[in-house]
Amino acid sequence: MTPQIEFSGVNKYYGAYHALKNVELSIKKGSFTALVGPSGCGKSTLLRSLAGLESISSGTLKIAGDVMNKVPPRKRDVAMVFQSYALYPHMTVEENLTYSLRIRGTPKAEARKAAEEVAATTGLSHLLGRYPRELSGGQRQRVAMSRAIIRHPKAFLFDEPLSNLDAALRVHMRKEIRALHDRLGATSVYVTHDQIEAMTMADHVVVMRAGVIEQQGRPLDLYDRPVNKFVAGFIGSPAMNFLPAVGSEDGRSLVVDVGAPQTVPISTNVEPGRKVIAGIRPEHISVVAADSGLMRVAVSVVESTGSMSYITTATRPELAIVETGRTDVSAGDLIGLSFAPQSVHVFDAGTEERIG
């Protein structure tokens, strides 16, 4: 099956600035793809190139099998939800929703009916006569979504659509957008800098840095096998702990340096003496009695939310540990740490690429 969206060898320059570097990305019909990465990494640029709002400098972009490089936005048949929502301020909600239909010459009555149907599914029925300035942030967000779904485009593009909402509404809308996507059988590309949004909503996560796709795949694959230190640190919350380490004599363990050298077993082979970085997720470390476990460390801070306890150690570098439930550890205690050899990720100290 031809992919619904396909970037091959796409580069984008802004003058001398190389904003997208050799992007290879293929998006299946009906999938939900999230683009994540730190600010300025090129997520919006990628999305805007897809919509036709930016032209690509080289490579090919296909939508539903057709080359789109030179096709203007209006002929690409995609719908976009902007971060600022970009609602037309001089039009009512209904006029906003039907704008795209009216341009295509849909008869008035038909457009009106479509608006009413969409409004019913997004809970906007009673607001159709209002102007955008008379709506709350959450309602505006819904109008922006409704405006996108009123026609049946080849793809939905979202550029950080939830970043202006409060935390509770954001969690709620996350589910709603995903449910909408499933119900419409749509193909969605969703830009966010929030990796939790990406992990929870998407089938396919694309991690970008400085214009380069660092890794893409299913959310849990990225979590389980990050290809480099950047992805490892970006995916997962709280972030993975990184410790400088060297391969030990037997080749199956590392000597990590957390103030005092400690030997920890790993599940991959590392040449003796090779400088590496050991990564371990806070939720994979468990606290045990001080005289057992793989490491012995002092506690510097304990924070508890009731359901979770966050422990920070007094080592250098600090280690973060997450325990579910409550903990009887308190600041100043000496504790032991234990973790499975498979949960240690090893990266080369120079290239920061994954080993094993």
Q: Does 90 bind another protein (CB under 8 A)?
A: yes
Q: Does 44 bind ligand ATP (CB under 6 A)?
A: yes
Q: Please check whether residue 220 is in contact with residue 200, taking contact to mean a CB–CB distance below 8 angstroms.
A: no
| Minimum gap (Å) between residue 215 Cβ and ligand ATP | 16
Q: Which residues contact 249 (CB under 8 A, 6 or more apart)?
A: 272
Q: Does 80 bind another protein (CB under 8 A)?
A: yes
Sole window of 48-56, 111-119, 269-277, 285-293 interacting with another protein (rule: CB under 8 A): 48-56
Residue 35 parent element (H or E)? strand 32-36
Structure tokens at 12: 């984008």
39 binds, among Mg ion, another protein, ligand ATP, none (CB under 5 to 8 A by kind): ligand ATP
| Minimum gap (Å) between residue 98 Cβ and another protein | 10
Sole window of 96-104, 107-115, 313-321, 333-341 interacting with another protein (rule: CB under 8 A): 96-104
Backbone angles phi, psi at 237, to 5 degrees: -145, 130
Q: Does 13 bind another protein (CB under 8 A)?
A: no
Q: Which is nearer to ligand ATP, 14 or 88 (CB)?
A: 14
Alpha carbon of 218 to those of 38, 117, 206: distances in Å? 19, 34, 9
Q: Does 111 bind ligand ATP (CB under 6 A)?
A: no
Give me the DSSP letters along 99-135.
HHHHHTT--HHHHHHHHHHHHHHHT-GGGTTS-GGGS
| Cα–Cα distance measured from residue 222 to residue 345, given in angstroms and rounded to the nearest whole number | 12
Q: Closest residue to ligand ATP, Cβ-based?
A: 44
| Minimum gap (Å) between residue 47 Cβ and another protein | 11
Tell me which of 4, 31, 45, 49 binds ligand ATP, using CB under 6 A.
45
Per-residue interface string for the shown chain with Mg ion, residues 34-73, x marking contact by CB under 5 A? ----------x-----------------------------
Within 10 angstroms of residue 301's Cβ, the number of other Cβ atoms is: 13
